[in-house]
Structure 1
């Protein structure tokens, strides 16, 4: 890749306040990357970005991993960009203001960001008919991408772990399933080891049905507000029970509105963040996004647009796009994200507990982790679907006592975990939806534990 030199003006974001930093040395100098496009289907081009393992970021409280693993990161949405948001806001080597992140995952392994489903981030389609419309197609697309990735990098023998956030949990679980299928039928060579499901949208209704009580117990709803939220959730559940998936997404939006009105706009990603109006700089005056209307526009504005705030948008369509060199001039980072969100609308509220069951049955590591302050995917809802796993040791797992966890000696409790065979559940304290952002050191410890844990 060509390295840019000279004076760069970069917009940085800190707690939604922009600042301008002047950088005289190329911030990517010394950081080893690779990237590429894979045409996963005719007219559907998926983008990947790899940061190579960098010992200069190695955490001093953890032993190096040998062999060096690959950590895939899949963002949520659907339509949000891991190459953008996950990279610069959560776990890549640089913060959004292009200074070094001391908790970068590159200190433990290679980090592979994939913009999925196709159309997210730098990924793009050449016609509307090429967007994925369900999680199964998204999984097949990502397996095709992995074939192209391995062909270019030769890293198929490196231990592979898939980590994710939010809707990315559905993609991570299905990618794990499809990798196992492809390896077993001889169409893919991969040293796949497991999945890490972070605040994952695995069972949407278990989240929606617990929102009211979670907020009530946190003193963020009174009884009147609780009644309104639970009534709306019940209507959403009815739509799901009847298989009216588009209606279910619309009613999910109505339940969110009931929460916002009764909590003075609580933050869905961290209930302790400042309450603010559910708008972003990208929201147009007529309430439309990239052609989206009605409830889809509102949902996009709350759950996808925040992943593309203006300073990140400027970085990805300016300096970073030029740094990567291979992004077509016609491609705007995030330009098709609204179309992705719309195309997956009918799939959004469908549960994927059965796919997680398949991941466990396949014998690979499955780790569920959740931030205690997350609302959109609250921990009580996560516990509910875990208790319904068909795994033959589920009841034994539920009866186990959890274990307190500390990322190093002398620090306060960072969380708790239960482990049985190849399945683990982690409760992460003082973290919301974006666990790597809120608890970076503890997240590195969780990664390290996942890789080094021996399955009996």
Structure 2
């Protein structure tokens, strides 16, 4: 009898252990899927816009949500041998599927007219709405938007893996990652992650346009910049320099969230306390009416309205683009949640990532800056660029500064070595391809074709 009872208890114990192990297996599987975001492509089946070849898709990232990408193969011959330009904006920018695509250098403009100087004439274009939650990229819930830069870059790794799965012929095409504004942080982080991935790619370089790499440090030159431009007087400069000193103190103390909140108040400080009244920090020469929008981060929407004939970008994307692509996601609906998600990481300097790329990879790093951008002023950018720590820094600093001319017009200047180049771009704000398309095209030729 005792033996029989022991056998029953043993059987029950085995069943319990089996159930426990099965439960742990399910839990581990769920965590792995959630952590590593097994990705699948959902190709959009709409007719598309215009008569150009294109692929629009959502890459499903496990439980995180879906990332939107839009690929336009080049019109040039031997297209798979031509470079791929992956364009990224970020938290404070406008999604690439709209702004970079229709506003700057995609195949069509906002009137759906063919753009004769589109970059697809020479390059393959890949627009990705990143971070997740911006543009047509949708997080499953707001709390699924990653706070860490590396997690956001990991999303982009999965998107690229999905892209190459669908477009295998482009695996050996030279890849250049362009990051504008905050997109520069995503670009350098993605480049580093691509050094250790399990799919084939041919990354050649990282290009940072008016990049937010060390925002608090760059801010230290803003008071000087605005006073020299005549927008403020000595009193206003003292206000801004006090603001920048406090922001830097917070960053140095690793109080990144408070520093981020202060950084987002920059427009109000400049207008209400420093005395500029109405100024567009993204393009300082714009003349604005005194009607600031609290949700207009650094004046970019006002900037674009003035440059793009008052286009309502969200309306255009929802009423024109979404039906054409066959997508039902509300465009840029989670923008405020994304801005909030980056409170802990936005102000963390990523200079070390630029140094890592220069010191540990063979990728080129090219940096350009529009001289009319007051958020990422050119003197502020040079504060961190001139102090990079890598083996080629002395050669870079000692290289000759040379002019860039297009059709006999001076577009700016550059300083270059084999691995690092910096471009000063005249008469351009935060978005050089919009303000100075000729200069942007010339920069592309130098970066990609070395001509």
Please give the range of the TM-score, normalised by the shorter of the 2 chains: 0.7 to 0.9
The residue aligned with 1:37 is 58
Q: Distance in 2 between the 1:255 and 1:268 partners?
A: 9
Q: Distance in 2 between the 1:336 and 1:266 partners?
A: 27
2:157 is the alignment partner of 1:143: yes
1:164 to partner: Cα distance = 2.1
2:142 is the alignment partner of 1:128: yes
1:2 to partner: Cα distance = 4.2
5+ residue gaps in structure 1?
5-27, 59-63, 281-296
The residue aligned with 1:357 is 355
1:327-369 deviation per Cα after TM superposition (whole angstroms, max 9, x unaligned): 2x3x201111111111111111111001111121211111000
Give the alignment of 1:115-264 within 5 angstroms: 115-154=129-168, 155-182=170-197, 187-261=198-272, 262-264=275-277
Q: Distance in 2 between the 1:166 and 1:225 partners?
A: 25
1:391-427 deviation per Cα after TM superposition (whole angstroms, max 9, x unaligned): 12212311222111123xx421111111112111111
1:255 to partner: Cα distance = 4.0
The residue aligned with 2:115 is 101
Equivalent residues of 2:280, 2:303 under 8 A apart: no
The residue aligned with 2:67 is 46
Q: Distance in 1 between the 2:380 and 2:270 partners?
A: 16
Give the alignment of 1:376-455 within 5 angstroms: 376-407=375-406, 410-453=407-450
1:77 to partner: Cα distance = 2.4
Q: TM-score normalized by structure 2? A: 0.84
Q: Distance in 1 between the 2:335 and 2:266 partners?
A: 23
Q: Distance in 2 between the 1:305 and 1:158 partners?
A: 37
Other structure's SS at 1:82 match: coil
Q: 1:310 to 1:130 in 2, by over 3 A?
A: farther
1:197 to partner: Cα distance = 0.2
Q: 1:306 to 1:216 in 2, by over 3 A?
A: closer
Equivalent residues of 2:47, 2:325 under 8 A apart: no
Other structure's SS at 1:417 match: strand
1:299 to partner: Cα distance = 6.4
1:86-141 deviation per Cα after TM superposition (whole angstroms, max 9, x unaligned): 11112211221222223311111110000111111001111233101121111111
Equivalent residues of 1:116, 1:123 under 8 A apart: yes
5+ residue gaps in structure 2?
1-44
Equivalent residues of 1:279, 1:301 under 8 A apart: no
1:279 to partner: Cα distance = 3.1
Other structure's SS at 1:71 match: strand
Q: Distance in 2 between the 1:432 and 1:169 partners?
A: 16
Q: Distance in 1 between the 2:54 and 2:439 partners?
A: 25
Higher helix share: 2
Count of aligned pairs:
399
Q: Distance in 1 between the 2:265 and 2:298 partners?
A: 14
Structure showing greater Rg: 2
1:289-318 deviation per Cα after TM superposition (whole angstroms, max 9, x unaligned): xxxxxxxx6564845797798621111111
1:57-105 deviation per Cα after TM superposition (whole angstroms, max 9, x unaligned): x9xxxxx999311001101324731111111112211221222223311
Q: Choose 42-51 or 254-263, whichever is displaced more.
A: 254-263
Equivalent residues of 1:387, 1:395 under 8 A apart: no
Q: Distance in 2 between the 1:307 and 1:220 partners?
A: 21
The residue aligned with 1:320 is 321
Equivalent residues of 1:232, 1:254 under 8 A apart: no
Equivalent residues of 2:83, 2:176 under 8 A apart: yes
1:198 to partner: Cα distance = 0.3
1:151-186 deviation per Cα after TM superposition (whole angstroms, max 9, x unaligned): 01112111100112100010111111111222xxxx
Q: Distance in 2 between the 1:33 and 1:48 partners?
A: 11
Which structure's relative contact order is higher, taking Cα pairs within 8 Å and 6+ residues apart? 1
Q: Distance in 2 between the 1:414 and 1:66 partners?
A: 31
Other structure's SS at 1:176 match: helix
Q: 1:310 to 1:431 in 2, by over 3 A?
A: closer
Equivalent residues of 1:79, 1:120 under 8 A apart: no
2:384 is the alignment partner of 1:340: no
Equivalent residues of 1:77, 1:304 under 8 A apart: no
